[in-house]
Structure 1
Amino acid sequence: MTLRHDKRARSANPTSIHDCAKSGDIVGVRNKLQENPSLLNYPNDTPVIVSFRLFALTQLAQTPLHFSAGCGHVEIVKLLLDWQGTEKVELEAKNVFGDTPLHMAAKNGCSIAAKVLLDHGAFVEAKCDIGMTPLHLAVWHSLSEENCLIVKTLLEYNADCSVKDNDGMTPLDYLSKAPESKKLWELFHCHIEAQRMRRAKEEYNEMKEKMTELEEALTNLVGLYELKLQLRKWAKGMLLDEMRRALGLKIAARKLPHMAFLGNPGTGKTMVARILGRLLHMVGILPTDKVTEVQRTDLVGEFVGHTGPKTRRKIKEAEGGILFVDEAYRLIPMQKADDKDYGLEALEEIMSVMDSGKVVVIFAGYSEPMKRVISSNEGFCRRVTKFFFFSDFSSEELAQILHLKLKYQEEDSLLYGFKLHPLCTVDAISNLIERGTTEKQRKDMNGGLIDPLLVNARENLDLRLDFDCTDADELLTITHEDLEAGLWSLSQ
């Protein structure tokens, strides 16, 4: 804190305003400030001993606010806080010991003066040079004077009971040295309980908001009922853990949930991984929501000694989030070639960091080939604790996906602003897909069928519209005819 020491202040006998503040002479304080406004934050030059061994002296450096707050002269405190001048009083000014005016009020039990300071924005957790907060000093005063009022005042302004001073002591630690002080113990107990309840309520409100956010994300997932149930379980459990900790309950930290996503392409594995990244970040399990997507070519080198560093770089990139290993079965070839394959080395590098707590790993791929990965490392099933099977989408589910995709297009998307004709219901589109595609096509493409279908449908819309069409609704509406033509183009 910078204090102003100008020539006018020195020549005005600055100790007199401090004497007035100390004695409670409000008229004297007002007169001195009117004569010389720069005295508002002026530190006194009363010498004080800071070392008995060397008999060292220094200036106490207390402002008028220090004196009036420490002596409980509330009207003078108010006068200084509300002084109408170019210079404003410094609430956090520190004396030679690092005490603020609130420290002075606390150590002398001046609860009303402390309340006035706090109402004007004084920092309740300010620390002096030895690390003590006003609450530390208030406990000392209350123990010596058997008066709890100053402690009660600070607790009403949410003073933290757990802050440690330079000796590692909290206000409660000092109180523990005087177990006979029942009033103080009761006061702290009531405050801590009220604080817990307040934190629990805040956590509950945050928890509801986060669960609502999760539910909104899950509505964009078609099918995958088992997986969505598991995500809800995780989310609720982890959010309840947050509330338990807010209530001061000690519980073990959850281990990171490594997973395997098994299913055909287009069944939503990558999309679910991204939602999962947001979920784990939202509930505090992961510090970021990033999902680093890799395949064999991102991990495996061509020569001896290349794979390890290459894989470690990707793992480092994914730290704090999710490492999504797509087509993970390609790390373990069906048949061993003559030359050494380095995919197993990449897998072992990944397995070695899965217990570190720094990254969540998701292995994804076809169900049958993934058995090679599972059996290639005896520690796989110990580390990968959740296996999710992504079933192929039915025609009805594909129709639901089409509706959702068109509804939530990004601004840079080719289909942004377009909509479906009211006759393009889920049932109508489901029947269209059922008739216009084979089971093998649906199995091979799954959700990957929808984007090219919509692009083809828009192209058909453009083809059938005349240049003289000025109806905005017609210009942006994809019809059943457009979808049918788009599906035919896709099947060709």
Structure 2
Amino acid sequence: MQNGMTPLHLAVWYSLRAEEFSTVKTLLEYNADCSAKDDEGMTPLNHLSKGHENGKLQALLLSHCEEQRRRRAIEACSETKAKMDELENELSNIVGLHELKVQLRKWAKGMLLDERRKALGLKVGTRRPPHMAFLGNPGTGKTMVARILGRLLHMVGILPTDKVTEVQRTDLVGEFVGHTGPKTRRKIKDAEGGILFVDEAYRLIPMQKADDKDYGLEALEEIMSVMDSGKIVVIFAGYSEPMKRVIASNEGFCRRVTKFFNFSDFSSEDLAKILHIKMNNQTEESLLYGFQLHSSCSVEAIAELIRGETTEKQCKEMNGGLVDTMLVNARESLDLRLNFDCIDTDELRTITLEDLQAGLRILSQ
């Protein structure tokens, strides 16, 4: 197409001189795009300049432009609802973290409304990527939430990919002068278009300020230098108290990392809900794939079991890790109590409350 002009551009241009627009009508009947722009940024309607006024042609184009805008808005609305439903489905697999869920809904709704605005021909500014800090003990779901977040931010258009690159100090920091910068930049390059998840980020900052041989701060500064580029979302994760060292180590940290989320320790009820979610969302790679819970294993019954068989210290130290260990032990308990002559398929694959109890007692021992 010459100068980026579509067939509709050319038909309008011809109609202005021939004073007949049957070709324009035909193209519009086949849904030619009224909003398409040529290399000069002109739509077919823009070519109806004051020097070449044609009332009937202009009315025809305006009518079809409005109809196409309305149709796109309806399509965008349907797609938006589907994406929000997908978002809610993903959020249902996250236990607790009310504040984080509210923020995710805000981001998702804003991005999806921007899609609607663009579909209606409006121009809107690009949103900045939301850099975050996840604060909490091990096992509280920080890594799992980061992976879900990668999928959600990609789904609503904040990120071009859903990849999450997980790194720790050893992936970023070199042993000698000049090693840390290139090592960190390689990881940043790997994460472009997605999320860079820096686990145990406080390990980048030495306990003693006088430690001149530690290159962790250099790695942190490399990461900070790309956070304004819009090419990457960075999540710093770690224990709440040690993370204060990271925040205090760089004056630009709080300017770039604007969202802080606290991952609280899980209660017995939370752990019971997590167990149910894991059992209901298994893949073929899962250790409990093919197994099911007995009907007596309600959330309330499992929560009561956890309270009775574990200490507060155990729950706090393991959090979500307690569920995985409990389920593996419960499967072994099921195997132990079954006979080889058992042919009942339900019995062969059903984990009972007694199996879960045995799994917790093994853990305590």
- Work out whether 1:373 is the aligned partner of 2:260: no
Query: What corresponds to 2:309 in structure 1?
Result: 436
Matched, 1:160 2:33: yes
User: Is the contact between residue 34 and residue 64 of structure 2 (CA under 8 Å) also seen in structure 1?
Assistant: no
Aligned equivalents of 1:326 and 1:377: distance in 2?
Answer: 18
**Which structure has the larger Rg?**
1
> Counterpart of 1:18?
none
Match of 2:289 among 405, 412, 416: 416
Is 1:217 aligned to residue 90 of structure 2? yes
1:98 matched residue in structure 2 = none
Cα 1:458–1:251 change in 2 (3 A) is same
Residue aligning to 2:298: 425
Give the AA of the match of 1:217. E
Counterparts in 2 of 1:263 and 1:168: CA distance versus 1, 3 Å: closer
Q: Name the amino acid aligned to 1:190.
A: S
Q: Is residue 35–residue 65 contact of structure 2 (8 Å, CA) maintained in 1?
A: no
What amino acid is aligned across from residue 388 of structure 1 in structure 2? F
Separation of aligned partners in 1, 2:328 and 2:135: 28
- Per-residue CA deviations over 1:301-335 (Å, capped at 9, x if unaligned) read 01100000000000000000000001111111222
1:266 aligned partner: 139
Change in CA separation of 1:183 and 1:476 when aligned onto 2, cut-off 3 Å: same
Q: C-alpha separation between the residues in 2 aligned to 1:239 and 1:168?
A: 25
Cα–Cα, structure 1 residues 131 and 234, in superposed 2: closer, same or farther, change >3 Å? Answer: closer
One-letter amino acid matched to 1:172: L
Are 2:205 and 1:335 equivalent residues in the alignment? no
Cα distance in 2 for residues equivalent to 1:329 and 1:338 = 15
Query: Is the 8 Å Cα contact of residues 16 and 52 (structure 2) preserved in structure 1?
Result: no
Deviates more, 1:168-177 or 1:254-263: 168-177
Match of 1:395 in 2: 268
324, 331, 341: which one pairs with 2:197? 324
TM-score, normalization by structure 1 = 0.72
Whichever residue aligns with residue 213 of structure 2, its letter is K
- TM-score for both structures, normalised by structure 2: 0.96
Separation (CA, whole Å) in 2 of partners of 1:192 and 1:166: 20
Give the stretch that moved more between structures: 314-323 or 210-219. 210-219
* 2:326 is the counterpart of 1:453: yes
Structure 1 range deviating more: 417-426 or 131-140: 131-140
Residue matched to 2:174: 301
Cα shift at 1:191? 1.6
Q: Distance in 2 between matches of 1:213 and 1:146?
A: 51
Using the TM superposition, give the Cα deviation of residue 194 of structure 1 relative to its aligned residue in structure 2, in angstroms: 1.3
More moved, 214-223 vs 136-145: 136-145
Match of 1:181 in 2: 54
Q: Is the 8 A contact 1:143 1:178 kept in 2?
A: no
String of CA shifts for 1:154-187, please: whole Å, max 9, x gaps. 1222212344557775433432253532222222
Alignment of 1:344 onto 2:210: no
Cα separation, 1, equivalents of 2:41 and 2:271: 62
Alpha-carbon distance in structure 2 between the residues aligned to 1:428 and 1:154: 66
Aligned equivalent of 1:462, options 319, 325, 335 = 335
Which 5+ residue runs of structure 2 have no aligned equivalent?
Answer: none
- CA 1:193–1:416: 2 relative to 1, 3 Å: same
> Once structures 1 and 2 are overlaid, which stretch shifts more, 164-173 or 154-163?
164-173
- 1:221–1:236 distance in 2 versus 1, CA, 3 Å: same
Specify which of 109, 120, 124 is matched with residue 251 of structure 1.
Answer: 124
Q: Is the 2:293–2:350 Cα contact (8 Å) retained in structure 1?
A: yes
* C-alpha distance in 2 between matches for 1:231 and 1:355: 21
Q: Quick one: structure 1 residues 326 and 206, their matched pair in 2 at CA, closer, same or farther if it must change by over 3 Å? A: same
Alpha-carbon distance change, 230 to 163 in structure 1, aligned in 2, over 3 angstroms: closer
From 122, 134, 141, give the equivalent of 2:7: 134
Is the alpha carbon distance of 1:166 and 1:296 closer, same or farther for their aligned partners in structure 2, counting shifts above 3 Å?
closer
Per-residue CA deviation, residues 406-465 of structure 1 (Å, 9 max, x unaligned), is 121211222111111111111111011111111111111111111111000100110111
Which residue in the other structure is 1:287 paired with?
A: 160
Q: CA deviation at 1:358?
A: 0.3
> Partner letter of residue 322 of structure 2?
L
Find the aligned partners of 1:194 and 1:457 in 2 and give their Cα distance: 61
Q: Which consecutive aligned stretches of 4+ in structure 1 deviate over 3 angstroms post-superposition?
A: 129-133, 161-170, 336-339
Which residue does 2:115 correspond to in 1? 242
- Deviation for aligned residue 1:227: 0.9
**Residue 320 of structure 1 aligns to which amino acid in structure 2?**
G
Write out per-residue CA displacement over residues 121-144 of structure 1, whole angstroms, 9 at most, x where no aligned residue.
xxxxxx3x6654332332133222
Match of 2:345 in 1: 472
Write the letter of the residue equivalent to 2:110. Answer: G
Unaligned runs of 5+ in 1: 1-126
Counterpart amino acid of 2:85?
A: T
Distance in 2 (CA, whole Å) between partners of 1:134 and 1:399 is: 62
Higher relative contact order (CA 8 A, sep 6+): 2
Please give the per-residue CA displacement for 1:246-289, whole angstroms capped at 9, x wherever unaligned. Answer: 11111111100000011111111111111111111111111100
How many residue pairs end up in the alignment? 365
